[in-house]
Amino acid sequence: MSGISAEREPRSESLYFRASQDLREDVDTFAARRGVTLSSAVGRLVERGLEAIANEESVKQMEDRLAQSTQELASMKVHLAAAQGEVQKWQAVIRGIEGYLRNLTVGACPHCKRQVTAYDHAVVRQCPYNDCRRPLEQVERAQEITPVAAGFLGAIGGLIVGLAAGQRQEGSAAGK
Ligand SMILES: [Zn+2]
């Protein structure tokens, strides 16, 4: 029987265990190389073993935390993609309305008398012609545009300006 006692400072307890011949030889070699007693060598080896196990556990904990963070990141990416999808839908709606307003002639610029669109009047609020560019607070209305329709177009124009501003803010908040 290979009984080995591990002595530790300041108070030592005895610890016995059975070892194979190979293990016993390895421990003897370890002790001889370091110039320590067999029991001191065993004590150090056990301490190193326990330390390694503790490190493994903390590595495991870090791996768990990393896995959790990765999962959270993935779920945030899903939410972000959904939010971006919403933004894109709204952008498409706005582009649709903008396209409609750009093609709808509402009357003539009161200054240069040239035709202007609902977009010029309600969104840009400026005459589109470079040699005029005057503010379009009023247009000389084409007969087919009723005052109610004109008011509705003005409201849509205001909505587009507001939505576009809101989207620019969302876009910069999302780190675009
Ligand atoms: Zn003009």
Q: For the chain, what are the domain ranges?
A: 1-74, 103-176
**135 alpha carbon – ligand 1 mean position (Å):** 8
pLDDT at 97: 87
pLDDT in tens, 137-174: 888 877 666 667 777 777 777 777 777 777 666 656 55
**72 alpha carbon – ligand 1 mean position (Å):** 56
pLDDT at 3: 47
**157 alpha carbon – ligand 1 mean position (Å):** 19
What whole-number distance in Å separates Cα of residue 23 and Cα of residue 10? 27
Q: What are phi and psi of 151, to 5 degrees?
A: -65, -40
Asked if 107 contacts 116 with a C-beta cutoff of 8 angstroms, the reply is: yes
Asked if 156 contacts 119 with a C-beta cutoff of 8 angstroms, the reply is: no
**144 alpha carbon – ligand 1 mean position (Å):** 20
pLDDT at 110: 92
**109 alpha carbon – ligand 1 mean position (Å):** 5
pLDDT in tens, 5-29: 554 456 778 888 888 999 999 999 9
